[in-house]
């Protein structure tokens, strides 16, 4: 099992992080194998690093495919998030806790139940809370609780 550090363009970073893009099309110049681990460094079009939560995650190659219309030496592989956050498996999700109900719509404050640290999410409505905690990277359940 190898660990591959790959550059990831910023326009794909959110889709990788929220799980809607669980695949990559890459030139296979690294000898990718099923079971290998991918870590991403997010970059802009100039190749400069852009900090993003996906950099705190690890992805396992679940399936590797060559040919089938792909150029020689290129491959598609499926990925799944296997991030081990603070020794706890990725599947253990957190949720947003409403710690300070606002007096008007959109002024509630929230913290992550896993890390309980900044950032607080305020000035947003529940349906636009992030799917992952930008602080610790924990996936968040699609409902909130009052603290």
Taking the complex as a whole, how short is the minimal distance between the CB of residue 54 and Zn ion, in angstroms?
Answer: 15
By C-beta, is 59 or 114 nearer to Zn ion?
114
**Whether 82 contacts 60, CB under 8 Å:** yes
136 binds Zn ion (CB under 5 A): yes
- Beta carbon nearer to Zn ion, 93 or 136: 136
Residue ranges in 48-67 that form contacts with Zn ion under rule CB under 5 A: none
Q: Is 133 in the site for Zn ion (CB under 5 A)?
A: yes
**Contact set for Zn ion, span 92-121 (CB under 5 A):** 112, 114-115
Q: Taking contact as CB under 5 A, which single stretch among the options 31-39, 51-59, 67-75, 134-142 is the one that binds Zn ion?
A: 134-142
Give the binding site for Zn ion (CB under 5 A): 112, 114-115, 133, 135-136
């Amino acid at each position: 099992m190898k660990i591959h550090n790959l550059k990831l363009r910023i326009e794909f970073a959110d889709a990788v992080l929220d799980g809607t893009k669980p695949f990559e099309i890459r030139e296979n110049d690294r000898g990718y194998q099923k079971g290998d681990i991918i870590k991403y460094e997010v970059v802009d079009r100039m190749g400069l690093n852009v900090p993003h939560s996906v950099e705190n995650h690890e992805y396992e190659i679940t399936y590797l495919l060559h040919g089938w219309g792909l150029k020689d030496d290129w491959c598609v592989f499926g990925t799944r998030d296997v991030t081990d956050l603070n020794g706890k498996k990725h599947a253990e999700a957190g949720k947003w806790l409403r710690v300070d109900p606002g007096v008007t719509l959109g002024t509630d404050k929230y913290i992550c139940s896993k890390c309980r640290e900044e950032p607080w999410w305020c000035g947003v409505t529940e349906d636009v809370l992030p799917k992952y905690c930008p602080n610790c990277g924990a996936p968040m359940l699609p409902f909130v609780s009052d603290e």
